[in-house]
Amino acid sequence: VDSSGQVRIHNTNMSANSVAQSLIVGTSATAGDAYGISIFGGSSASSNIFFADSDGAQGDRRGTIRYFHGTDQFQFNTGGNNLGLVIDSSQNVGIGTTSPQRRLHQHISSSGANYHSFTNDTTGSGSSAGLLLGINLNEEAIIWNYENTDMRFATNGTDRLIIDNSGNVGIG
């Protein structure tokens, strides 16, 4: 602990971010004051926060928040070292991939089905509720409406195709 109250571990000459100067979590600070933790790493290294418990072979690392300084990328791992989520320097989000190619990129490292579900309080949240988008085990594109409602397709703010809940198709 230095004379200003900063806790320094293996760091005697680097200055901390001015809004993250102490190792205090929770404070009675007045409005405008900021406290936090600064984690330094080399320009091509990573900085980590590990979450541990006493269960399993990887008890010292059940979850990780990792920042890669060289690529400006956040990575969130679960269940030991299993990749969960990545946010890259372009703010693209990857689930199951370290190189997201779009704003949201979901990848499964097998030839398995890969879906996104959209539900709300009315549809319920079960596996056969709401709308399902993705690819099935045969890599076929799937748009699946589990509800007894119409599906609408539009361009330029105008309905172009409607499939009603009976399966009738209206075009134009």
Task: Specify the range with the lowest mean pLDDT, choosing from 11-15, 55-59, 87-91.
Answer: 11-15
Q: Which residues pair with 77 in a beta bridge?
A: 64, 83
Q: What is the pLDDT of residue 101?
A: 95
Band the pLDDT of 52: cuts 50, 70, 90. Answer: confident
Q: Which of 131, 135, 127, 134 is nearest to 150 (CA)?
A: 131
- Alpha-carbon 76 to chain mean position: 7
> Within 13 Å of residue 25, how many CA atoms lie on the same side as its CB?
2
Q: Which pair of structure tokens corresponds to residue 28?
A: 């009675």
- The DSSP output letter for 54 is S
Whether pLDDT at 90 is above 90 = yes
